[in-house]
Chain A
Amino acid sequence: MPPVVHLIVDSRGWSSPPDLDILAALLEARLRGLAPLEVQVRSLEESWAAQLPQAEAIALLILARPLAQGWQAALQAWLSERHLLYVAFFDGAALSDLSQLAALTAQQPVPRAPYRLAAQTSQQLDAAFAWFEKLLQKLQPTFVPEAPLPPIRMMTTRWRNLPSNAQDAFAYPDQLTRSMRGARGYSLLGASTRGRTHAHHGTFRDDAFALGATAHWNILAVADGAGSAALARVGSNLVVESAVAAIQERAPASPTPEDLGRAIWTGLEAAYQALFSFAGAEHLPVSDLNTTLQLLVHFPLDTSCYVGVVHIGDGLVVAESVDGQIYALTEPDTDPDDDGRTLFLTSAPLNQWKRRAKVYQFDERLDIVALMTDGLSGDLEVRDELLRTNLFGKLRERVLCYPLHLRASALLSLISYERRGSFDDRTLAVLARD
């Protein structure tokens, strides 16, 4: 181990107080060409001599004023082959101190008389450091290390996992799972988990999902609250719950395919309304609730089905039919060049989203429908053959093979993978044929 260089600066008597970090940085830069030397800096205190380190060290003392009495014995005891001291001084230093320091250090290897600093300028200091560098070069053979230390690798262990504040007025759990029987031989399940960014800072999961069913319909909603919005988690939960509840409530007893479009509109209106009512009641700007929304109503028949869907913001809504055909049901709002951009439910008037709602008719039954936030879709390569194996295949192998009451926790473990560069909340809602 090379010795540590201790820079001890007398902070008294400067025209403006010296910035010790900058002095240390200057010195470190000076010494860079030598063996790797650590520089530690501190201000001169009355008991400086008693505080000199026990480990191998070279001290550079910068004096500006007379020293307080009583340092000689401690310094003499400290000085040795492993403990060297050099001195630079401004004109305010006491001559008697300097001559005693010079005498005490005269026997050490590479002895040097104290270096006079003519003025308090960075040029002068740098010149003193250059002087110090030269004498260290002479000392260097005594502390060349054998080999550089291996660099310190820091991996994901540095991530913290802090719980969110359960006492918060708007607390939501860091993880959530749900499953339920749906209409006509389908089941619904969902899982949502907090991303590493939120875990690291102990903040809340901003994703949300809701599931619902009527005698004829299966209803799924997924939302991703904007990271920049103060109450994003409230926004995302409000929109999925109000949309699913409103659709369930107003579902006709014997629906026609046309009713699906109306149902999506009902859900959109309820979600939109929920955000504005909450913001109004709490006196918040509605942008504090910014959230995306994916809303899907599935109307299965014996050999065919209808799907009503709307998607505002990023994420992904995809389906696989019984025949293995893959459908991208929506077009997410993402800038292909930069996923820094997306849209929120309140980014545009309600009518614009109503126009975006779609109703599809399928001549076959759908086997799996998946709605997910961008925390998951950002990790998936959205290409048919990869979705088949990486999404639908894994859902069958690792989730849908279990009985219903175990599926939601299996889904949670499926989405709880670790991946470099993937920090976001993840939410997946699934509709599956039994």
Chain B
Amino acid sequence: MNAEQFVRRRPVYLLLDTSGSMRGAPIQAVQQGVTMIHQELLNNPHAIETVYLSVITFADGAQQVAPLASVENFNPPTLRAEGQTALGAAITLLEQVMSRELIPNTEGRKGDYRPLVFLLTDGAPTDDWQPAVARFKQQHGNKIGAFVALGCGSNVNTETLHAITNDVLYMKDTTPDALKQFFRWVSSSIQKTSQRIGARPEESGLDAPPLPPVMKWDRST
């Protein structure tokens, strides 16, 4: 019954701000966070079989520093913080990467599960982001499992983030502790979602444990 071995993947994209303002403890906390997510997923047999991870960083431009890979084959990239906050370039790259990497449904065969996207930024975009967001939404808007944006620090522009997604979290500062909690939450969200593939839920989207106490749903808008 099992002749055709196609595996449905749960793609997870991490979009990480590596602009100069993240230098020091924040970028190290982000680095640790990515490593922690990877370690935790390696300990979860559901995630090992289904989750595929990719990292896109953005500063002066955007770069896919880790292509979509299974948890076993994923290598956490080394992050360096310098430059501007080219959020638009990151969204454009995400759009291209998703078009290239994701396997769509075809007749009789189901493609990948809907991807999860986690965006982390501590500043206002320094490039022309609106057209990129519009194109992304047009291309992939209805095929996303969840898109969570975390804005941290006082320079972040939550209106920009709300233009990208409804799921916006806001953190007042970029302490390592707060970032660590964010990554913990991301990790458990991914694990929950990967497990639900088997348990066949009745609703789509992200089913995550309650947010950690330092995080607040942004009510500024």
In the complex, the answer to whether B176 meets A25 with C-beta atoms within 8 Å is yes
Residue on B with the closest CB to A197? B198
Q: Name the one of B6, B32, B200 contacting A339, with C-beta atoms under 8 angstroms.
A: B200
Residue numbers in B under 8 Å from A337 (CB-CB): 105, 114, 142-143
6 of the cross-chain contacts (CB-CB < 8 Å) are A25-B29, A29-B32, A122-B25, A126-B25, A154-B48, A421-B8
Contacts A26-B176, A122-B176, A386-B108; is A290 near B46 (CB within 8 Å)? no
A residues with a Cβ closer than 8 A to B are 19, 21-22, 25-26, 28-30, 32, 122-123, 126, 151, 153-156, 158-159, 195-197, 200, 224, 226-228, 290, 314, 335-342, 344, 374, 376, 378-383, 386, 389-391, 394, 414-415, 417, 419-424
Residue numbers in A under 8 Å from B110 (CB-CB): 336, 339, 378
Identify the interface centre among A22, A29, A126, A389: most chain B CB within 10 Å of its CB: A29
In the complex, the answer to whether B176 meets A158 with C-beta atoms within 8 Å is no
A33 to B3, CA, bound (A): 46
Residue on B with the closest CB to A287? B202
In the complex, the answer to whether A424 meets B199 with C-beta atoms within 8 Å is yes
Contacts A126-B24, A383-B108; is A29 near B5 (CB within 8 Å)? no
In the complex, the answer to whether A28 meets B32 with C-beta atoms within 8 Å is yes
Q: Name the one of A344, A380, A423 contacting B198, with C-beta atoms under 8 angstroms.
A: A423
B65 lies within 8 A of chain A by Cβ: no
CB distance from A219 to the nearest CB of B (A): 24
List residues 45-83 of chain B with CB under 8 A from any CB of chain A: 45-46, 48-50, 72, 78
List residues 75-129 of chain B with CB under 8 A from any CB of chain A: 78, 105, 107-110, 113-114
Identify the interface centre among A21, A196, A340: most chain B CB within 10 Å of its CB: A340
Identify the interface centre among B2, B4, B29: most chain A CB within 10 Å of its CB: B2
Q: Name the one of A22, A30, A342, A419 contacting B202, with C-beta atoms under 8 angstroms.
A: A342
B135 lies within 8 A of chain A by Cβ: no
In the complex, the answer to whether B31 meets A423 with C-beta atoms within 8 Å is no
In the complex, the answer to whether A197 meets B1 with C-beta atoms within 8 Å is no
List residues 169-211 of chain B with CB under 8 A from any CB of chain A: 175-177, 180, 195-205
Residue numbers in A under 8 Å from B109 (CB-CB): 381
In the complex, the answer to whether A228 meets B202 with C-beta atoms within 8 Å is yes
A10 to B15, CA, bound (A): 37
CB distance from A10 to the nearest CB of B (A): 20
Beyond the given A341-B202, A422-B198, could you list 19 further A-B residue pairs with CB under 8 A, ordered by the A residue number?
A: A21-B180, A25-B28, A25-B176, A26-B25, A26-B176, A158-B45, A195-B198, A197-B46, A197-B198, A227-B199, A228-B201, A228-B202, A337-B105, A381-B6, A381-B108, A419-B5, A421-B7, A423-B198, A424-B198
Contacts A341-B203, A420-B7, A421-B49; is A29 near B31 (CB within 8 Å)? yes
Q: Name the one of A126, A379, A394, A424 contacting B200, with C-beta atoms under 8 angstroms.
A: A424
In the complex, the answer to whether A197 meets B143 with C-beta atoms within 8 Å is no
B42 lies within 8 A of chain A by Cβ: yes
CB distance from B90 to the nearest CB of A (A): 23
Q: Mark B1-37, 1 if CB is under 8 A from A, else 0.
A: 1111111110000000000000011001101100000
CB distance from B149 to the nearest CB of A (A): 21
Residue numbers in B under 8 Å from A158 (CB-CB): 43, 45, 48
CB distance from B87 to the nearest CB of A (A): 24
In the complex, the answer to whether B113 meets A391 with C-beta atoms within 8 Å is no
In the complex, the answer to whether A382 meets B108 with C-beta atoms within 8 Å is yes
Residue numbers in B under 8 Å from A390 (CB-CB): 1-4
Contacts A341-B202, A378-B110, A383-B108; is A22 near B1 (CB within 8 Å)? no
In the complex, the answer to whether B28 meets A290 with C-beta atoms within 8 Å is no
